[in-house]
Amino acid sequence: EAGVTQSPTHLIKTRGQQATLRCSPISGHTSVYWYQQALGLGLQFLLWYDEGEERNRGNFPPRFSGRQFPNYSSELNVNALELEDSALYLCASSLGQVNTEAFFGQGTRLTVV
C-alpha cells in the first residue's frame, strides 16, 4: 500500500514568488495535515483539512493557504515567499478526524533565495 506522497521533493523559488506543494494521502484517509519544519524550530502546525473543508489552521499568515480536493489530495500554496519560508513542508494523513495515527510523507524541501 502506498504511503503519503508529496511532490515535488525539492523546490527552489525566488523571494516574492508563489509556491505550490502537493500531497496525496494514504488510500482511505480523509484528513490531511500540513506542517512546517524549519531548522531549529521543530514541526509547526499549518493546516488541517477533512472532507474537503479547512478544519483548523496554525499561527501562520494568510499567505499560507491550501485546499483539499474531492479525491482527498491536498495542495499547499505559499504566496509572496519570504526567505524565512525556507523549510521542509510535511504532509500527514489519517483516517477521519483521528490524528493519533497520522502518517507523514517525505516532505517537500522549499528553498527561497
Partner 1 sequence: QKEVEQDPGPLSVPEGAIVSLNCTYSNSAFQYFMWYRQYSRKGPELLMYTYSSGNKEDGRFTAQVDKSSKYISLFIRDSQPSDSATYLCAMMTFGNEKLTFGTGTRLTIIP
- Residues in contact with partner 1 by CB under 8 A are 4, 31, 33, 35, 40-45, 48, 50, 55-56, 58, 90, 92, 94, 97-107
Task: Quote the least distance from Cβ 101 to partner 1, whole Å.
Answer: 6
CB 77 to partner 1: min, Å: 20
Query: Closest CB to partner 1 among 80 and 98?
Result: 98
112 in Cβ contact with 82 (< 8 Å): yes
Nearer of residues 20 and 43 to partner 1, judged by Cβ: 43
**C-alpha cell belonging to residue 50:** 477533512
Minimum CB–partner distance for residue 54 and partner 1 (Å):
12
CB-nearer residue toward partner 1: 14 or 87: 87
By beta-carbon proximity to partner 1, the closer residue of 17 and 27 is 27
How far apart CA 113 and CA 110 sit, in angstroms, is: 10
Interatomic CA distance for residues 59 and 12, integer angstroms: 24
